[in-house]
Amino acid sequence: MRQGPEIWIRGPVAAPEPPDRGPITPEVPRDPAPAESAGFSWIGVHGGAGVTTLAGVFGGQDCGRGWPGPGDPSSVLLVARTHAAGLTAVGRAVEEFRLGRVPTGVGLDSVALVADAPGRLPRPLAQRVRLLESAVDVHRVPWVPAWRLDGAHEGPPRGTESLVRRTRRVG
């Protein structure tokens, strides 16, 4: 049996117990405000996928490698690099969604593939991307040299119009 990335194996990690400071008033659960429930959450399927950069450029909630929290949008955009390990990880994550092995209420919107190097993908990787595209909407993010130096200050790069439309539609 194939297993997904550790995010889907481990689940959420509990916060450490705070020191005892007497009786604590329990938090009253609240429904998320409309602004909190709108939008989308970025989830990286492996370390270094580019979640923080994409959230800075396109907006949305940066969930790192964890599931959206109670106040976070439940519409998920998975993020992976276009190297072999990244494509394997995103394939496993999409399969987890297909099999319903994700938290209740969390839905897969699409996948964002961030270039792992400048230039065209080698044929074997391009074939894997086409296979992924047959199962889910895929948005390609090109190599952006400026992101290596100063982050995401210039706005969406050329060639990401479909992702811009998707994030504006969801947001």
More confident residue, 63 or 5: 63
Q: What percent of the chain has pLDDT over 90?
A: 60
Which residue type is seen at 156?
P
pLDDT of 155 reads 81
Of the given ranges (41-45, 123-127, 142-146), which has the lowest mean pLDDT? 142-146
Q: What share of the chain is helix, strand, coil (3-state, %, to 5)?
A: 35, 15, 50
33 band by pLDDT with thresholds 50, 70 and 90: very low
15 band by pLDDT with thresholds 50, 70 and 90: very low
Tell me the per-residue pLDDT of 73-115, one tens digit each, with 9 for 90 and over.
999 999 999 999 999 999 999 999 999 999 999 999 999 999 9
β-pairing, 75-81 with 61-62?
unpaired
pLDDT of 152 reads 58
pLDDT of 124 reads 96
β-pairing, 41-44 with 61-62?
parallel
Compute the chain's Rg from CA coordinates.
18
Which residue type is seen at 43?
I
- Looking at residue 80, what DSSP letter applies? E
Please answer whether residues 49 and 86 qualify as being in contact, where contact means their C-beta atoms are separated by less than 8 angstroms.
yes
Task: Round to whole Å and give the CA distance between 165 and 50.
Answer: 19
pLDDT of 11 reads 39
For the whole model, what pTM was predicted? 0.75
Please answer whether residues 111 and 134 qualify as being in contact, where contact means their C-beta atoms are separated by less than 8 angstroms.
no
Count of other CB atoms within 10 angstroms of residue 82: 22
pLDDT at 29 over 90: no
pLDDT of 76 reads 95
pLDDT of 98 reads 93
Distances (CA, A) of 56 to 51, 100, 129, 130, 135: 9, 29, 25, 27, 27
